[in-house]
C-alpha cells in the first residue's frame, strides 16, 4: 500500500475534487483505494454522498481510542472505501499539538495498515492550512501529489509547499517523502494565463507535472452537490475524461518507476 497525500496549503485549488476523482478513477481501474478525509470540513465525505455516523472520523484514531479499521466505511462503490471526516476532527489539532509524537502519529497508524495488504493506495485529502493535520499527512505520505490551480497565485503557493516538503524530508519525520506529481486544475484554455501557468510549471517541474490537465467545467464543480464522482455525474464529459486520464497517468508513472526501483 502506498500512502499518497493530496496537498496544497491553499484552499479552493482542487484538492478535494482531485482526491475524490483520482480515488474513483483508480478504483474503476481495479485498484483497491482507501480514501481518508483529513479535512474537518468533510468535503470528501459529503462529495461521495456519505452521511457518516457520529464519531467515525480519524479523530478517535489519532487520540488512540479506536483503530483505523473501526472507521473504514463502504462507499457503495467497488474498490473504494472511506474514513470520513467531521467537524470534531478540528479538535485533534489541539490534542495532537500537546503530544511529543504529533508529527509521526498518523504515520505510525498508516504504516500499521501496510502489512495487511487490504489496499493498493491510501489517498489522504488534507485541509488548507499548514496545521498539525496537514503536516501529519505529509509526514505519513510516501508520495505527495499537489493539485495546482492554473492561476498566478497558484505558483506562489507551489513554492511554499515545495519548501515545506523539503523541511519534512530533512527532518526525521519522513526522510523518503517524494513530490510525485503536480496536477494542473481548473484549466481554462481560452485564457493566456492558464496556458502560461502550465508552461511555467512544466519548465520548473518537467518530471512532476502531469500531462493530463483538468479543465474548469461546471460538471466537475456540481458533482459533489449530488454526492457523486465525476464518473457517476457525467461519465462521458470532459471532466470524466480528464480525471480518467489523470488516473491512467498515475498508474503508468508507477509502472515506469517500479522496474527501475526493483533493479536497486
Strand partners, 153: none
157 is an interface residue for ligand ADP by CB under 6 A: no
Closer residue to Mg ion (CB): 32 or 227: 227
Q: Residue 69 is placed in which grid cell?
A: 479499521
> Using the rule CB under 6 A, which residue among 1, 34, 220, 240 binds ligand ADP?
220
Please report whether residue 214 would count as binding ligand ADP according to CB under 6 A. yes
10, 15, 102, 216: residue in contact with Mg ion (rule CB under 5 A)? 15
Rounded Cα distance between 230 and 214, Å, is: 12
Min. distance of Cβ 111 from ligand ADP in angstroms? Answer: 26
Q: Which stretch binds Mg ion (CB under 5 A): 12-20, 30-38, 76-84, 135-143?
A: 12-20
Residue 110 phi, psi (nearest 5): -75, -35
# binding residues, Mg ion (CB under 5 A): 3
Q: How many CB atoms lie within 10 A of CB 54?
A: 7
* Three-state SS at 209: strand
Question: Is residue 129 helix, strand or coil?
Answer: coil
The helix/strand/coil state of 62 is helix
- Choices 16-24, 30-38, 140-148, 185-193; region in contact with Mg ion by CB under 5 A: 16-24
Residues 35-94 that bind ligand ADP (CB under 6 A): 43
CB of 185 to Mg ion, least distance (A): 12
Angle of helix 152-170 versus helix 192-204 axis, rounded to 10: 20
What φ, ψ does residue 263 adopt, rounded to 5°? -65, -30
Of 227 and 251, which has the nearer Cβ to Mg ion? 227
Query: Based on CB atoms, which residue is closest to ligand ADP, 69 or 153?
Result: 153
Question: In terms of CB distance, is 16 or 75 closer to Mg ion?
Answer: 16
Nearer to ligand ADP, 80 or 220 (CB): 220
∠ Cα 201 19 231 (to 5°) = 105
Which of 40, 128, 244, 247 is in the footprint of ligand ADP by CB under 6 A?
128
List 52, 131, 224, 244, residue binding ligand ADP (CB under 6 A): 224
Residue linked to cell 504529533: 102
Residues 4 and 180: their CA atoms lie apart, in Å, by 9
- CB contact at 8 A, 143 and 117: no
Binding test (CB under 6 A) with ligand ADP, winner from 57, 194, 217, 229: 217
User: Rounded to an integer, what distance in angstroms lies between the CA atom of residue 187 and that of residue 240?
Assistant: 14
Binding site for Mg ion (CB under 5 A): 15-16, 43
Binding site for ligand ADP (CB under 6 A): 11-17, 43, 128, 185-186, 214, 216-217, 220-221, 224
Amino acid at each position: 500500500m502506498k500512502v499518497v497525500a493530496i496537498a496544497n496549503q491553499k484552499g479552493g485549488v482542487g484538492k478535494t475534487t482531485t482526491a475524490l476523482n483520482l480515488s474513483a478513477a483508480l478504483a474503476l481501474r481495479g485498484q483497491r483505494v482507501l480514501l481518508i478525509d483529513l479535512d474537518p470540513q468533510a468535503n470528501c465525505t459529503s462529495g461521495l454522498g456519505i452521511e457518516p455516523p457520529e464519531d467515525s472520523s480519524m479523530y478517535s484514531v489519532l487520540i488512540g481510542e479506536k483503530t483505523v479499521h473501526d472507521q473504514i466505511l463502504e462507499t457503495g462503490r467497488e474498490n473504494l472505501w472511506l474514513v470520513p471526516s467531521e467537524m470534531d476532527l478540528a479538535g485533534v489539532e489541539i490534542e495532537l499539538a500537546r503530544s511529543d509524537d504529533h508529527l509521526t502519529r498518523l504515520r505510525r497508524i498508516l504504516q500499521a495498515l501496510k502489512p495487511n495488504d487490504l489496499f493498493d493506495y491510501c489517498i489522504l485529502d488534507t485541509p488548507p492550512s499548514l496545521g498539525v493535520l496537514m503536516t501529519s499527512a505529509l509526514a505519513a505520505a510516501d508520495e505527495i501529489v499537489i493539485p495546482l490551480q492554473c492561476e498566478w497565485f497558484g505558483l506562489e503557493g507551489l513554492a511554499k509547499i515545495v519548501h515545506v516538503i523539503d523541511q519534512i524530508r530533512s527532518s526525521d519525520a519522513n526522510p523518503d517523502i517524494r513530490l510525485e506529481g503536480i496536477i494542473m486544475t481548473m484549466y481554462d484554455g481560452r485564457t493566456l494565463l492558464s496556458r502560461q501557468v502550465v508552461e511555467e510549471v512544466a519548465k520548473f517541474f518537467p518530471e512532476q507535472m502531469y500531462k493530463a490537465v483538468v479543465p474548469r467545467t461546471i460538471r466537475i464543480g456540481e458533482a459533489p452537490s449530488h454526492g457523486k464522482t465525476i464518473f457517476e455525474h457525467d461519465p462521458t464529459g470532459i471532466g470524466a475524461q480528464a480525471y480518467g486520464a489523470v488516473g491512467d497517468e498515475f498508474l503508468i508513472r508507477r509502472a515506469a518507476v517500479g522496474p527501475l526501483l526493483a533493479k536497486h
